[in-house]
Amino acid sequence: MSSENRKLIVVSGASTGLGAATARELARRGFHVLAGVRRDSDADAIRSTGVEPVTLDITEPEHVGALAARVADDPRALHALVNNAGIQVNAPVETLPMARWRWVFEVNLFGHVAVTQALLPALLRGRGRVVNISSIGGRVAMPTYGAYAGAKFALEAVSDALRREVAPLGVRVVVVEPGGIRTEMATRGIATANDLAADMTPEQDERYGDLVRAVNALMASGTSSGLTADAAARLVAKAVTTRRPRTRYAIGRDAALLTRLTRVLSDRTLDRVTAATLRRHHPKGVALADHG
């Protein structure tokens, strides 16, 4: 095993799904992975050769500080930080309580900034890299994705700023934009959307109820036809290990297609494409307006 492959990598949100698959894939390639989990049961499930679970809620300063101390005490260089932790909360802008808006940004943006700040000294010493797991929602905001996409758009902007700040210092910053992936996060996201929809007022349900159901159906369809977590993890590992990584990687055919569409279509045309796509998943007999 080379000295390169003995380096450390931190992966947050590694309890299940893409994070767990990424931790295992990087360990298989010879790295020592500090896998952030929130529960003891998750730690027991992921612990294996090359994968060391660490308790990490990225919104808890004590956890972030302990992680930074663990990395600082290790003689091995920190090769990469993979900011993967996240939650999916979908609801119309009007109906999502402000406390939930703030929590989505706390987990999907501010927590990543906190971990990045804490580990940047080690990354600078090792000339490592930051890999931020964004989403195709960081490029295109579908209806009901206001909070989730808003945080991902912001993560993309922070990534651009950070890349331009630390590139002269030898640290690379990469954004990964997955589309549909067959993970528990998508299933939980649909359940959360249904719970939030149940709390809408009758007037709000009349305005948005069918839209929420259509978006959920589209999400379920995209997830079932998406990449497996293991296949997506291999692409994340490429962003982590390739010598000259691109600034952005789209994962999945849907992500690649939407990325291309955003480059060539006007906002109004993209609105019509979005409405037409949702119409195929809408309750029978109900139409969505194009607002064109």
In a domain, 250, yes or no: yes
Half-sphere exposure of 283 (CA within 13 A, CB side): 7
In contact, 222 and 179? CB cutoff 8 Å: yes
Phi-psi region of 291 (alpha: psi -120 to 50; beta: other; left: phi over 0): left
Domain of residue 268: give its range: 4-279
In a domain, 9, yes or no: yes
In a domain, 286, yes or no: no
In contact, 116 and 175? CB cutoff 8 Å: no
- From first to last of the 292 residues of the chain, give the pLDDT tens digit: 444 447 999 999 999 999 999 999 999 999 999 999 999 999 999 999 999 999 999 999 999 999 999 999 999 999 999 999 999 999 999 999 999 999 999 999 999 999 999 999 999 999 999 999 999 888 889 999 999 999 999 999 999 999 999 999 999 999 999 987 876 777 788 888 888 989 999 999 999 999 998 888 887 776 666 788 999 999 999 999 999 999 999 987 777 778 888 888 898 998 898 888 888 877 664 444 444 3
Helix, strand or coil for residue 227?
Answer: strand
In a domain, 290, yes or no: no
CA dist 240 and 234 (Å) reads 10
**Neighbour count for residue 47 (Cβ, 10 Å):** 12
In a domain, 14, yes or no: yes
Length of the chain in residues, anyone?
A: 292
DSSP 96: S
CA dist 258 and 86 (Å) reads 21
The pTM of this model reads 0.89
CA dist 199 and 89 (Å) reads 14
Q: What CATH number corresponds to the domain at position 117?
A: 3.40.50.720
In a domain, 184, yes or no: yes
Active-site residue flag, 148: yes
- Total domains in the chain come to 1
| 291 contacts: CB under 8 Å, gap ≥ 6 | 271, 275
- Helix, strand, coil distribution of the chain in percent, nearest 5: 55, 15, 30
Instruction: Give all strands (DSSP E) within the chain, no chain letters.
Output: 8-11, 32-37, 51-55, 78-83, 129-133, 172-178, 181-182, 227-228, 248-251
Which of 145, 148, 208, 249 is catalytic? The answer is 148
